[in-house]
Chains A and B, each alone.
Chain A
């Protein structure tokens, strides 16, 4: 059974640019969550989608947005990139929205220069 797939794995952007990250959940999983991981702040919740609807949103500025498609695949977008956005962006899927078992992808490592 394929795991959570995130693309791209690595990317470099410059300040002011925007970026789109993609996540394909485990087949059959309908809930997708996004987290930002940095050495200083650890894992921080960005948002969660279930059946194409955003169910929860973390404490991040509006430059961070996401969406989920009918096939449960999800994308997140960061506009007007700042140096502080450099991080590992992790996507996690779960079978339903009411189970604690999150299955993470390997992440997309974003470097902002």
Chain B
């Protein structure tokens, strides 16, 4: 079983919808949680970075971490066609940035 599980989708929503993306994990040592967005033929781009449990908001994006349930979420409000991409959750256990464990990614399509 993988340390990080992410529903691969694909997920298709109409423009303006609220999107919920989720990951579960098994390693209780994970403390740092990230969400990346990856467009086709591009490298992943960091969207959100949170430490431990709680919520973090940045514009239309909100990241939630529930360490007790080993569950993290990314919410996208007022989704736009430009949000169509693959979203990857990632997490790591210590202060070492390089060794992150990634989910397999959820492919999102926002239809105009």
CA distance A8 to B34 in the complex (A): 28
A33 touches B49 (CB 8 A): no
Q: Is the interface of A mostly helix, strand, loop or mixed?
A: strand
Interface size, B (range): 20 to 34
Shortest distance in angstroms between B89's beta carbon and chain A's nearest beta carbon? Answer: 11
CA distance A99 to B46 in the complex (A): 13
CA distance A104 to B36 in the complex (A): 10
Which residues of chain B from 60 to 87 have any CB-CB distance to chain A below 8 Å in the complex? none
B41 touches A106 (CB 8 A): yes
**Residues of B contacting A105 with CB < 8 Å?**
43
Q: Is B1 an interface residue (CB 8 A)?
A: no
A101 touches B98 (CB 8 A): no
A97 touches B95 (CB 8 A): yes
Q: Is B102 an interface residue (CB 8 A)?
A: yes
Interface size, A (range): 20 to 34
B41 touches A100 (CB 8 A): no
Shortest distance in angstroms between B59's beta carbon and chain A's nearest beta carbon? Answer: 17
B98 touches A48 (CB 8 A): yes
**Residues of A contacting B99 with CB < 8 Å?**
33, 45, 48, 56, 58
A55 touches B43 (CB 8 A): no
**Residues of B contacting A35 with CB < 8 Å?**
102
**Residues of A contacting B44 with CB < 8 Å?**
43, 90, 102, 104
**Residues of A contacting B97 with CB < 8 Å?**
31, 33, 94, 96-102
